[in-house]
Amino acid sequence: MKRMALVFLVMLAGAVIGPVLAGLGIFPGPQPHPAWLGIDGRCGRGAAALVQLILRQAIMKRIAFVLLLFFVIAMPLWAGCPTFCGFYSGDFDPDHPNAGALANENDAMVGGTPYGAATYQNFVVPVGVFPVQGLFTDNLSALNPTTGYWEIRSGVSEGNPGTLIAGGTAALTQSPTGRSAFGYTEYQDLVGCDAPWSDCTPLPVNPLPAGTYWFAVVPNDPNNGNRSFNSNTFGLNRIGTEVDNEQFFNSAFFSANFTNANNEGVFPAFSSGVIDWIPEPSSLVLFGSGLMVTAIAARRRWFS
C-alpha cells in the first residue's frame, strides 16, 4: 500500500512540476497531457485516502509541502492561458499606455473572401515537431460567430504572404476572457480543440517541424453590423517563443497587403495561442527522477 501511494504522489508531482519548469524556460516544449490530472470522483476519494496515509510519514509531508509550493508558483504561469497552450503570446492589458487592437473580422461592416481583415501572429517551434490541435485569437468584439477562418503560414514578410501550410473554415467556440476595453468585451475565439476531452475535431494540420510560423483565426459573422479587433499584448503571462514586432495585417478592405502590424499602430504581438496536448520531455524526466529519489528516501526510512 505504501509503495502504491508513493507512485501516485510522484506521478502527480511529475505532471505538475514539469510544466512549471517549462513555463520558466528551464525545459522547452509544449504543456503536459491534461488527462494526467483528470481524476474522477471515485478515484478522488481513493486518492484522498492514500494521501492521508502518506502524510503520516515525515518524508511524505516534505514532498507534499514541495508540491503545494509548486502549485502556488504554477498558477500565475497558467493564469494567462485558458486552454492547454503549447504557445500563448500573452494577455491583453487594458491599463497599458499602448493598449490597442487591430481589425480581425468578417462581418457586415468589414467583409471579404475569405475574410475582411486578418491579423497574423508568429510562434517558434525550436526543436522536434509541434502537433497543432487548435488555434485562438483574443478579440475585442461584438460579434456572435459560430465559425472562423484560420490559416498557418511560413515565410511571411512585408508584402509577402509566404507559404500557406494549412487553412480553412471550422466551427468556432467563443468565450469571454474577463477583460474589456474601448467599449468592447474581449472574447477568446477558438477553432479546433482546447482539451482532449472536448467534443470537437482537431484542426487538420500535420505536425510542424522546427521553424517560425504565422497563424490567423478570424471570427465569421457576415450578417452582423458590429466589429471585432484582435487585442495587442506586451507578453504578460506568455508561454513559448515568438519574434516580437514581426506580426502582420492583411485586408483588401483596408488596402493592406501583409504589412507589418506596427505600420497600423503599436502591435509587438497579438493576444493569440496554439493548442498542443503532447507531454513534454521535462515531465517524463521529472517523473523518472522523482521515482528514483522518492524510492531511495523511502527505502532508507523503512529499513533504517
The answer to whether 263 and 245 are in contact (CB under 8 A) is no
Gap between the Cα atoms of 264 and 243, Å rounded: 18
pLDDT category at 156 given cuts 50, 70, 90 is: very high
244: left (phi over 0), alpha (psi -120 to 50) or beta: beta
Gap between the Cα atoms of 290 and 260, Å rounded: 46
pLDDT category at 46 given cuts 50, 70, 90 is: very low
Gap between the Cα atoms of 132 and 206, Å rounded: 8
pLDDT tens per residue across span 11-39 = 555 544 554 444 444 434 333 333 232 32
Alpha helix segments (H runs only) across the chain: 2-23, 41-54, 58-79, 281-303
Gap between the Cα atoms of 32 and 35, Å rounded: 9
Asked if residue 280 has pLDDT above 50, the reply is: no
Mean pLDDT of 117-143: 96
pLDDT tens per residue across span 198-242 = 778 899 999 999 999 999 999 999 999 999 999 999 999 999 999
Gap between the Cα atoms of 141 and 180, Å rounded: 9
